[in-house]
Amino acid sequence: MTQHMKPLLPDRIDTLFINCHVATMADNALSIIEKAALTVTGKTISWIGKEKEIPDLLKTKDPKIIDCHNGWILPGFVECHTHLVWAGSRSNEFGMRLNGIIYEEISKKGGGIFSTVKATRNASKDELFTLASKRVNVLLKQGITILEIKSGYGLNLKTELKILEVIRLLDKNFPLHIEATFLGAHALPSEFANNPDGYIDLVTHTMLPKVKAQGIATAVDTFCEPIAFTLPQTKKVFEKAKDLGFNIKLHAEQLSNSYGAALASGFNALSCDHLEYLSLSGAKKMAQHNVTAVLLPGAFYFLKETKKPPVDTFRDLKIPMAVSTDLNPGSSPVHSMTLILNMACMLFDMTCEEALLGSTINGAKALGLEQSKGSIEVGKDVDLVVWDIDTPADLCYLAGLTPIDRVMITGRIHQTT
């Protein structure tokens, strides 16, 4: 039984939303309540149900009333995979790729991630904060209320800490809830070109303990791929990260089957991300350890990939599927969640319901936040968007349009225009 069917009446109500329909995303489905109302007490959803069934007692509490004019309320989007703190531009590489040079080639020639690392190392904390703020503002206007940001364009202690500090400042200065992930093992910096194990030692012995001591990241991610780090190197990072109490995430099976998903599952990872080349045995491991699959159609699209992630297998094995922009300067400079929803449907054959679950409750699962965020249920945080749409599927269908009426984050309304 869903929580909204057995409401506990709150003593106080701050806000009452009326004249709306709600896609709650409870119970792994859209779970629609038409002609609905919901109440907010503090930062918590305190009642939800049919508008005509609002208990008389609640009407006497004198809340602020928000008329949604027949609009739809959905949980705010949970954007669970971005790399949005970077400096510099890679538009030149976009041109190279249009001329047929592939991502791995550009990376091998010192471009790709390395070009962003150079620019990010040279940028001050203030410059990075200004650049990243613009991107966070765009995401806020896209209906994103929960956001994950990875480091990984520093590849030395000083710059990795600088990026994580910028993420902390973004969290402080913006209403969104922001989770920081340490991605020190994103690429091998040129200083360690002949000594990858030396770099992994730096990550495990120096960077991870420092990041932990400063409390500026909750998860650790690694790029396990022939152009980045091997399986044994990834394992070393995870062993230390687990010891220190970090959550685990992995860029896995994006460009080849490197067996990363199976490894990460053994560490009870929150998520494995990309997964185009995932094998059936890797998927079974993910299912066994309740790992969320984060699908990134923007990177698939920008890299002109042809191998799709095994969505049917995820369905069969009941592996939760999240979707995300992967916002980064190289493989996915995509700033729009609604465009990503459309791509998830068009490129990965997901249903609109799957894409919407992927950008809400399953995104929250990928961040370990599903107990308090990602769906509209009594007792959960009020992170919601009122949309001026006819049906939730419009968010997948009207590619790139963002018809937001208003956004509420932890109980407070935020202007998005």
299 binds ligand NIG (CB under 6 A): yes
Letters for 235-274 (x = contact with ligand NIG by CB under 6 A, - = none) are ----------------x--x--------------------
CB 345 within 8 A of CB 396: yes
Q: Which does 331 bind (CB under 5 to 8 A by kind): Fe ion, ligand NIG, none?
A: ligand NIG
Of 21 and 150, nearer to Fe ion (C-beta) is 150
Q: What whole-number distance in Å separates Cα of residue 288 and Cα of residue 266?
A: 9
CB 238 within 8 A of CB 222: yes
Q: Which stretch binds ligand NIG (CB under 6 A): 108-116, 129-137, 167-175, 191-199?
A: 108-116
Give the shortest CB-74-to-ligand NIG separation in angstroms: 26
Which tokens belong to 355? 């894409």
Tokens 């939303």 correspond to 17
Of 221 and 370, nearer to ligand NIG (C-beta) is 221
Q: What whole-number distance in Å separates Cα of residue 384 and Cα of residue 374?
A: 9
The total of other beta-carbon atoms located within 10 Å of residue 92's CB is 11
Letters for 332-361 (x = contact with ligand NIG by CB under 6 A, - = none) are x-----------------------------
Closest-approach residue to ligand NIG (CB): 330
Query: Where in 64-93 is the site for ligand NIG (CB under 6 A)?
Result: 83
Of 20 and 217, nearer to ligand NIG (C-beta) is 217
Q: What whole-number distance in Å separates Cα of residue 320 and Cα of residue 317?
A: 9
Give the shortest CB-231-to-Fe ion separation in angstroms: 18
Q: What whole-number distance in Å separates Cα of residue 303 and Cα of residue 164?
A: 27
331 binds ligand NIG (CB under 6 A): yes
The total of other beta-carbon atoms located within 10 Å of residue 196's CB is 15
Please report, to the nearest 10 degrees, the dihedral formed by the alpha carbons of residues 114, 247, 137, 341 taken in order: 90
112 binds ligand NIG (CB under 6 A): yes
Minimal CA–CA distance to 404: which of 42, 45, 131, 138? 138
326 binds ligand NIG (CB under 6 A): yes
Which tokens belong to 398? 């009207």
Q: What whole-number distance in Å separates Cα of residue 170 and Cα of residue 179?
A: 10
Tell me the sheet residues that pair with 381: 44
Give the shortest CB-332-to-ligand NIG separation in angstroms: 6
Give the shortest CB-251-to-Fe ion separation in angstroms: 6
Residues that bind ligand NIG (CB under 6 A): 83, 112-113, 116, 223, 251, 254, 299, 326, 328-332
